[in-house]
Amino acid sequence: MAEDRIIIIGAGPAGIRAAETVVAAGLRPILIDEERRDGGQIYRRQPDCFKRTSQDLYGSEAAKADAMHDCFEGLRSRIDYRPESLAWNISQGQVHVARDGQSQALAYDKLIIATGATDRVIPVKGWHRAGVFSLGGAQIALKSQACAIGARTVFMGTGPLLYLVAAQYAKAGATVTAVLDTSRYGQRLQALPKLLSRPGMLIKGLQLTRDLKRRGVEIHYGVTPLEIAGDDVDGVQSVSVRLETGEERQFDCDAVGLGYHLRPETQLADLARCAFHFDTVSRQWFPEIDAQCRSSVEGVYLAGDGSRTLGADGAEAAGRLAALAALKDMGIIVSEPEMGRLTKILKTMDAFRNGLATAFPWPHAVAANLSDDTIVCRCEAITAGEIRATCGEIGSGGIGADELNRAKAFSRVGMGRCQGRYCGPAASEILAQRLGVPVEQVGRLRGQAPVKPLSIATVGDAP
């Protein structure tokens, strides 16, 4: 009898731990990853010619990063590892994978999707100018290319990643002009009971803020973004915000890092026909999973930040648990106490996630009230006004859009390279406010294959 085929998508913390668990059961999984090397975003490897130490790259997480990389090196000969490979579609029990201009359809018996997360952003007037990056993009530049996104950088948004990336830049010697946080300091006190579920992480967050202040970086809470000013030749020149006091301030800079927490990379889960539900705390859509990472689709398991943004530690636990659930469903005996232990860990981490969403809330009113001339979809240059124009009754000033995919059809918002990863959350808030309905009622942008652009020369799809 042929051995059951287990495919794992993503070689970050969740995917590596899932592969480790499958290998320990005596099986050889296929591990597909879009990147050149393992590690994911959090433990992203530097190019071979770079010689920075783990401490320089990962700071307080250096030991975990080294352990993750060592674990992967020990697995390489026992897995079918396929780097620089894009899983661009899932259909009828097959994963479609493209590499070097060739696409291949791989059938699976069990599929573990560990695709991680992407930045969640809110557009601001002028964010289409050269010099505006997501926090993740700014972090990639520092880790993979050993360069800063600008000589004088402002970091704006909210959430732990805002402070982590700003601190990484400051530590590397870059000039951080200011950290502008849309959340209020009092909201963190409100969330303190949930944040205390992981006191170590809370302490690390406080240390990041302390280190930034010690380096002389201005930190402002409760800001309202107003505009990123500049021109088409030189790009970004300044950022304007309204402070919590009502005062308007301008910060001169030549680069901006934007980010409001993370959003799960769910396109593949969507194409696998997994069910989704709306999370009212974070105001976003998550794929449904049970306590052991099973999706609503038999044989498909969701692990790591691709289903819940629980961070690297949570991703490791979820990767192990998803693999154990897949093995158990294949009739292989697994450790029930270990599954129970991992389930308990993830429950604690989910409480912390809810605490973070309370401490650093998604400022939906900022998105909903963007001026009509603000570009929301940078790929297609679609403005907030154009999205609003899709709403309402036909013949009374609108053209009939009552949910997000209709607005997409009428305006092209979300039809560009990112497929709505960056503009979709804000577009839904704009649409919901104009219609006067809860944001969950306007729905979510549906995943489309290919989930990322393919070369027009790509051929194949042979089994």
Q: Which CATH superfamily is domain 364-442 in?
A: BFD-like [2Fe-2S]-binding domain (1.10.10.1100)
Write the DSSP symbol of residue 391: B
CA 447, 451, 455, 461 dihedral sign is: negative
Residue 1: the pLDDT is 37
Residue 397: the pLDDT is 52
At 110, which helix (H) or strand (E)? Answer: strand 110-113
Alpha carbon distance 260, 323 (integer Å): 30
Q: Which residues contact 442 (CB under 8 A, 6 or more apart)?
A: 402, 403, 404, 407, 428, 431, 432, 435
HSE at residue 386, side-chain half, CA atoms within 13 A, is 16
Q: Do domains 6-118+263-357 and 121-260 have the same CATH topology?
A: yes
| Burial degree of 441 (CB within 10 A; 0-12, 13-18, 19+) | middle
Q: Which residues contact 352 (CB under 8 A, 6 or more apart)?
A: 194, 195, 197, 198, 201, 310
Boundaries of every domain in the chain:
6-118+263-357, 121-260, 364-442
* Sheet of strand 248-252, all strands in order from the earlier edge strand to the far edge: 224-231, 235-242, 248-252
Write the DSSP symbol of residue 273: T
Residue 51: the pLDDT is 77
Alpha helices in 135-214 (DSSP H): 135-145, 160-171, 185-195, 199-214
pLDDT tens, N- to C-terminus, the chain (463 residues): 356 799 999 999 999 999 999 999 999 999 999 998 898 888 888 777 777 788 877 777 889 888 999 999 999 999 999 999 999 999 999 999 999 999 999 999 999 999 999 999 999 999 999 999 999 999 999 888 889 999 999 999 999 999 999 999 999 999 999 999 999 988 988 888 888 888 888 888 889 999 999 999 999 999 999 999 999 899 999 999 999 999 999 999 999 999 999 999 999 999 999 999 999 999 999 999 999 999 999 999 999 998 988 888 999 999 999 999 999 999 999 999 999 999 999 999 999 999 999 999 999 999 999 999 999 999 999 999 999 999 865 555 556 888 999 999 999 999 998 899 999 999 999 999 999 999 999 999 998 899 998 888 888 764 4
Alpha helices in 254-381 (DSSP H): 267-271, 311-329, 336-359, 364-368
**Which of 261, 260, 219 is closest to 243 using CA atoms?**
219
At 425, which helix (H) or strand (E)? Answer: helix 424-435
Backbone angles phi, psi at 194, to 5 degrees: -75, -35
Peptide bond before 453: cis, by omega within 30 degrees of 0?
Answer: no
Strand ranges for 209-328 from DSSP E: 218-220, 224-231, 235-242, 248-252, 255-260, 262-264, 276-279, 284-287, 300-302
Kindly list the distances between the CA atom of residue 172 and the CA atoms of 56, 98, 175, 177, 369, in Å, as whole numbers in the listed order: 8, 36, 9, 14, 36
Residue 52: the pLDDT is 78
Does 3.50.50.60 match the CATH number of domain 121-260?
yes
**Which of 306, 278, 361 is closest to 11 using CA atoms?**
306
Alpha carbon distance 141, 230 (integer Å): 22
For 6-118+263-357, CATH gives 3.50.50.60
User: Between β-strands 94-99 and 276-279, what pairing exists: parallel, antiparallel or unpaired?
Assistant: unpaired
Alpha carbon distance 127, 462 (integer Å): 42
